[in-house]
């Protein structure tokens, strides 16, 4: 999902310190270093990905975000990024709190369970939706806590988390999501990207 990375890069100023939680093979970090001269660090669970990052000369720590974010001091990064993993944690609320502690701002992207195709699959076929952004079936999905853009929006309001910006992504199109267009965007965005603080 290159578009997602592009949106995230656009949200970031130059020369800041960023922690990419669940950084995978380091593609996003490489992009941010190249385009924004960002000081990037990664946290990654999968050993194979950790090595890929190391070979590229990227700084990465092998570890589990669910249990190991405590090692980072308060507000030690300007931005913490969590790309499409919030729904896979046992306790997303705790992880989100930790992200907001470690980073001055947090960028979270989620696959939107409120996207119309997801909704219709459940409605018309009566089966758990399998789509491009949600490719797994119910029994092997890592996603424990699926949510919609609207869910996360409401959650932030409820928990007094400041929403600075929300961007909806559908293929190559992006649009800003506000309270006024939330219902529509929740239906037509495949992905939601939140900038929180």
Partner 1 sequence: MDEKLKNIKKLNVSKPLLLDCKQTVKDFSLAYETYGKLNESKDNAILVFHALTGDQFVSGVNPITKREGWWVTAVGPGKAIDTNKYFVICANVIGGCMGSWGPKEIDKKTNEPYGLNFPVITIRDIVKAQETLLDYLGIKKLLCATGGSMGGMQLLQFCATFPNRTFSAVPIACSTSHSAQNIALNELARQAIMADPVWDKGRYLKKNVQPKNGLAVARMVGHISYLSEKGMQEKFGRKLQEKADYEFSFDADFQVESYLRHQGFTFVERFDANSVLYITRAMDYFDLARQFKGGLVEAFKDQKTKFLVISFSSDWLYTTKENKDTVIALNASGADVSFAEIKTDKGHDSFLVNEPEFLKTLKGFIDSMYLKFKNEKRI
Chain residues that interact with partner 1, rule: CB under 8 A: 41, 47, 50-51, 53-63, 71-73, 76
Q: Is the Cβ of residue 65 or residue 118 nearer to partner 1 in the bound state?
A: 65
Q: Is the Cβ of residue 6 or residue 17 nearer to partner 1 in the bound state?
A: 17
Q: Is the Cβ of residue 40 or residue 149 nearer to partner 1 in the bound state?
A: 40
Of 51, 55, 86, nearest to 69 (Cα)? 86
Residues in the chain, total: 197
Smallest gap from Cβ 95 to partner 1, in A, equals 18
Q: Is the Cβ of residue 3 or residue 56 nearer to partner 1 in the bound state?
A: 56
Of 151, 153, 152, 197, nearest to 178 (Cα)? 153
Beta-carbon contacts of 62 under 8 Å, excluding residues fewer than 6 positions away, are 44, 45, 47, 50
Smallest gap from Cβ 77 to partner 1, in A, equals 10
Q: Is the Cβ of residue 55 or residue 138 nearer to partner 1 in the bound state?
A: 55
Helices 27-36 & 2-11, crossing angle to 10 degrees?
Answer: 40
Beta-carbon contacts of 73 under 8 Å, excluding residues fewer than 6 positions away, are 102
Beta-carbon neighbour count of residue 58 at 10 Å?
21
List, in sequence order, every residue forming a beta bridge with 145; answer none if it has no partner: none
User: What DSSP string runs through 19-45?
Assistant: EEET-TTSHHHHHHHHHH--EEEEEES
List, in sequence order, every residue forming a beta bridge with 43; answer none if it has no partner: 21, 61
Smallest gap from Cβ 61 to partner 1, in A, equals 4
Q: Is the Cβ of residue 26 or residue 192 nearer to partner 1 in the bound state?
A: 26
Smallest gap from Cβ 131 to partner 1, in A, equals 34
Smallest gap from Cβ 55 to partner 1, in A, equals 4
Smallest gap from Cβ 98 to partner 1, in A, equals 14
């Amino acid at each position: 999902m290159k578009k997602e990375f592009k949106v995230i890069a656009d949200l970031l100023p130059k020369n800041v310190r960023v922690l990419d939680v669940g950084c995978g093979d380091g593609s996003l970090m490489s992009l941010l270093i190249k385009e924004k001269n960002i000081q990037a660090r990664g946290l990654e669970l999968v050993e194979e990905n950790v090595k890929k990052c190391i070979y590229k000369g990227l700084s990465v720590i092998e570890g589990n975000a669910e249990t190991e974010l405590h090692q980072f001091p308060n507000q030690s990064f300007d931005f913490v990024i969590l790309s499409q993993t919030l729904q896979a944690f046992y306790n997303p609320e705790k992880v989100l709190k930790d992200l907001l502690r470690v980073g001055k701002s947090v960028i979270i992207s989620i696959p939107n369970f409120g996207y119309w195709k997801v909704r219709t699959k459940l409605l018309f076929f009566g089966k758990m939706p399998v789509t491009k952004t949600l490719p797994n079936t119910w029994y092997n999905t890592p996603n424990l806590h699926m949510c919609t853009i609207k869910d996360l929006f409401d959650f932030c309001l409820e928990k007094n988390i400041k929403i600075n910006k929300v961007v909806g992504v559908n293929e190559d199109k992006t649009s800003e999501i506000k309270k006024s267009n939330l219902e529509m965007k929740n239906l037509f965005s495949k992905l939601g990207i939140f900038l929180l603080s």
